[in-house]
Structure 1
Amino acid sequence: MSQPSRPRIGRIPRDSFSPYFKDIKSLPYHESTSGRGTGSHHRLRHIAWNPLSTFVATVTSDKTLRVWNPERKDVKNSTELRGHLAAIEKIAFNPVKEAELCSVSNDGVVKLWDVRTKACVNEIKGLGNAHALAWAPDGSSLLVGNRRGEFFQISPAKSAVISSRQLPVDTNQMAFCWSGEKVFVPTTEGAVRILSYPELEPALHANYAAKDGDSTEFMLKGHTASCLTTELSPTGKYLATGGADSIISLFDTKDWICQRTISRMVGPVKCLSFSFDGCYVVGGCEEGSGIDVTHTETGDLVHTFKTAGPCEAVAWAPTRYCLAYGDLGVLRIIDADKKSAPK
């Protein structure tokens, strides 16, 4: 059930960001530690918010899929969704439905859940070693990718794959453009392909090829190692890409030029997340101890949230300044609405 609305703060300027957040404490969301310490928790691998920021889902390395109420941190107010028999790679809420969650496991099973009833309402099998998942913006279909470069178009209402496509190179976590007509696909070769949807054909071409007979497909090139993830800003102005080279690249979506690179990460960039207004971006990785918040327009570091360990999973809420992240296996949330608006 949706929570009652409460006052939200507006956009926080770059110079006010760190002073505003420096005294806000993170809240832990986990089981009681009376019987075991937080060190016994499994690694938190992925985080997903629903479109209204009223639910946040988490996946841990022991295959636990749990949906939390951000207003109530006690585990008794959360919901565990059971059914996957192998490691869960990605989760994502339907962008137009508050309570429909999709999860993909590396045994090739995709499950659709109604988080209000805990019911698995649909299941699709036989997708290989699946590890990437993205909803089309209108919520009518999903795109699932596996480690062999196969892509599958899925309808949440059908128990069979709509269509499949074998791509020539292995791919990682993709993202849609907001019209749903294109999908940005990072590859193990370090480039990002821009493909039409649902055809999955190259959407942009250069007017020349380096050599006769070479492909004229236009790709974004901003990494010296495998590109692991992509994320489009809520405003649609920037596409962020994260690589195994520990670099975040920001491309403008008008001219497709890499405007700036962020090289403060200390390990491969596993996930990316923009704040609801597109002003700030964060990345998650398996190394380091802190979450750096970068101002997208300047590339400046505006604040670092200190953590006890590496944060592989990190996600801004889609409607407000509320940051969820995993630290030593525990979900933590920093909510700007817990403090009065800045002067």
Structure 2
Amino acid sequence: MAPAPLRPRQSVAKERFSALFGAQKTVSYHDPQASRGTGNHGLRCIAWNPLGTLIATGSPDRILRVWNPERQNVKYSTELKGHGAAIEQVAFNPVKDAELCSVSSDGVVKFWDVRTKAVINEIKGLREAFTLAWHPDGETLLVGNKDDNIFVLSPTQSQPITSHQQPVQTNKLTFDHSGDRVFLTTGDGRVKILSFPDFEPIYYLSHEHTTPFTLNGHTSSCLSIDLQPTARFLATGGSDSIIALWDTTDWICQRTLIDMIGPVRSISFSFDGSYIVGGSDEGPGLEIAHAETGEYVHSVKTAGPCPVVAWHPNKYCLAYTDLGSLKIIGVDPERK
């Protein structure tokens, strides 16, 4: 008898996960206009909307597309036109299911209504922008550029609210679930914990407040970060091929996942925080680990490296890039 299909918001024990997840279909979404390949070709970013009913993809070809996961054919997708350079990041507003933000390498940030395809706001002049994080309330967001400057933006204002120059190479960033803290990954392998909106260190190594406390778990550049939905662990990924899991109460590294090949370009937790996967632009396949124990519970065979990964927001459904195209495990395309 085949395993029963997985239902949304239903957690599965690690002993049963591989059999159930492995029985799900893998669906490919082909964009005939996009280049295929790895590295600087194909898709550079993917993002689910809050309900998991849409998924956006961005490419170096300046193509921004929003897919309906249950309609595999590209004719059911929406292309959002207007960017003049490679699209580096996309992210839906966490509280507005049809509002999408996209960042391109020429320093242009666009806000879209995906229902009408309209640009509802645009911010220019941010130089080589490449990273993006929404505040949990959906009222502001952060965009960082390769000059290590972080801009606080509003989806309703055409100029940055503030900017915060960082003294060290800054790669990725994310908020905690309250929106009061920002985690920044750096080129020296550390993670800075700063207050928002002040961007001041929250913890120090001494009472004199001379040396800010940072998470130091990588031997080289820290490239990716994700906060567990339950907020118990903060996961960081480095160019040392390691994923570190930090306890958010005492900020001690509880365990490391060391089976990846190549730099960890992206990290994603499942909706319930039980499982974690990392993406890299080297090595084949994906390895899904149980967050609580660090045990690897399922391997996904792929045609090539998968630098971008993203779990669905409310079910065991995994999106990833493979040879430059979008693939999703766990959807039922063309469902009647």
Fold match by TM threshold 0.5:
yes
Q: Any residues of structure 2 matched to 1:203-222 within 5 Å, and which?
A: 203-207=202-206, 215-222=210-217
Structure 1 spans left out of the alignment, 5+ residues: 1-5, 339-343
Query: Matched residue of 2:132: which SS?
Result: strand
Question: For residue 83 of structure 1, what is the aligned residue in structure 2?
Answer: 82
Q: What amino acid sits opposite 1:243 in the alignment?
A: G
Question: For residue 229 of structure 2, what is the aligned residue in structure 1?
Answer: 234
Question: For residue 324 of structure 1, what is the aligned residue in structure 2?
Answer: 319
Q: Any residues of structure 2 matched to 1:59-78 within 5 Å, and which?
A: 59-78=58-77
Query: Matched residue of 1:20: which SS?
Result: helix
Q: Any residues of structure 2 matched to 1:10-89 within 5 Å, and which?
A: 10-31=10-31, 42-89=41-88
User: In the alignment, does 2:15 pair up with 1:8?
Assistant: no
Question: For residue 341 of structure 1, what is the aligned residue in structure 2?
Answer: none
Question: For residue 95 of structure 2, what is the aligned residue in structure 1?
Answer: 96
Q: Is the Cα contact below 8 Å between 2:154 and 2:160 reproduced in 1?
A: yes
Q: How many residues end up aligned between the 2 structures?
A: 327
Query: Matched residue of 1:18: which SS?
Result: helix
Question: For residue 240 of structure 2, what is the aligned residue in structure 1?
Answer: 245
Query: Matched residue of 1:137: which SS?
Result: coil
In 2, Cα distance between equivalents of 1:103 and 1:173: 15
Q: Any residues of structure 2 matched to 1:291-310 within 5 Å, and which?
A: 291-310=286-305
Query: Matched residue of 2:205: which SS?
Result: coil
In 2, Cα distance between equivalents of 1:66 and 1:37: 14
Q: What's the offset of the Cα at 1:208? A: 5.8
In 1, Cα distance between equivalents of 2:103 and 2:128: 10
Please give the per-residue CA displacement for 1:27-53, whole angstroms capped at 9, x wherever unaligned: 1111479xx997799422111000000
Q: Is the Cα contact below 8 Å between 1:44 and 1:312 reproduced in 2?
A: no
Please give the per-residue CA displacement for 1:71-122, whole angstroms capped at 9, x wherever unaligned: 1111000011111111111111100000111111111111101111111111
In 1, Cα distance between equivalents of 2:43 and 2:86: 12
In 2, Cα distance between equivalents of 1:26 and 1:7: 17
In 2, Cα distance between equivalents of 1:32 and 1:237: 41
Please give the per-residue CA displacement for 1:251-275, whole angstroms capped at 9, x wherever unaligned: 0100000000111111111111000
In 1, Cα distance between equivalents of 2:212 and 2:296: 34
Question: For residue 264 of structure 2, what is the aligned residue in structure 1?
Answer: 269
Query: Matched residue of 2:170: which SS?
Result: coil
Query: Matched residue of 2:46: which SS?
Result: strand
Query: Matched residue of 1:48: which SS?
Result: strand
User: In the alignment, does 2:116 pair up with 1:117?
Assistant: yes
Query: Matched residue of 1:172: which SS?
Result: strand
Query: Matched residue of 2:172: which SS?
Result: coil
Q: Is the Cα contact below 8 Å between 1:220 and 1:256 reproduced in 2?
A: yes
In 2, Cα distance between equivalents of 1:318 and 1:16: 20
Distance 1:293 1:126, change over 3 A: same
Please give the per-residue CA displacement for 1:161-186, whole angstroms capped at 9, x wherever unaligned: 10011111110110100000000000
Q: Is the Cα contact below 8 Å between 1:321 and 1:337 reproduced in 2?
A: no
TM superposition score normalised by structure 1 = 0.91
In 2, Cα distance between equivalents of 1:140 and 1:316: 24
Q: What amino acid sits opposite 1:334 in the alignment?
A: I
Q: What amino acid sits opposite 1:171 in the alignment?
A: T
Query: Matched residue of 1:101: which SS?
Result: strand
Q: What amino acid sits opposite 1:152 in the alignment?
A: F
Question: For residue 278 of structure 1, what is the aligned residue in structure 2?
Answer: 273
Q: Is the Cα contact below 8 Å between 1:107 and 1:129 reproduced in 2?
A: yes
Q: What amino acid sits opposite 2:122 in the alignment?
A: E
Q: What amino acid sits opposite 2:154 in the alignment?
A: S
Q: What amino acid sits opposite 1:26 in the alignment?
A: T
| Percent of pairs with identical residues | 56
In 2, Cα distance between equivalents of 1:299 and 1:181: 29
TM superposition score normalised by structure 2 = 0.93
Structure 2 spans left out of the alignment, 5+ residues: 1-5
In 1, Cα distance between equivalents of 2:35 and 2:255: 41
Question: Stretches of 4+ moved more than 3 A in 1?
Answer: 36-42
- Please, which of 303, 310, 313 is the counterpart of residue 308 of structure 2? 313
In 2, Cα distance between equivalents of 1:316 and 1:160: 32
Q: Is the Cα contact below 8 Å between 2:130 and 2:146 reproduced in 1?
A: yes
Please give the per-residue CA displacement for 1:110-142, whole angstroms capped at 9, x wherever unaligned: 110111111111100111211111000010100
Q: What's the offset of the Cα at 1:330? A: 1.7
Q: What amino acid sits opposite 2:12 in the alignment?
A: I
Question: For residue 163 of structure 1, what is the aligned residue in structure 2?
Answer: 162
Distance 1:37 1:59, change over 3 A: closer
In 2, Cα distance between equivalents of 1:9 and 1:132: 29
Q: Is the Cα contact below 8 Å between 2:277 and 2:287 reproduced in 1?
A: yes
In 2, Cα distance between equivalents of 1:184 and 1:38: 33
Query: Matched residue of 1:205: which SS?
Result: coil
In 2, Cα distance between equivalents of 1:208 and 1:157: 41
Alignment RMSD, CA only? 2.1
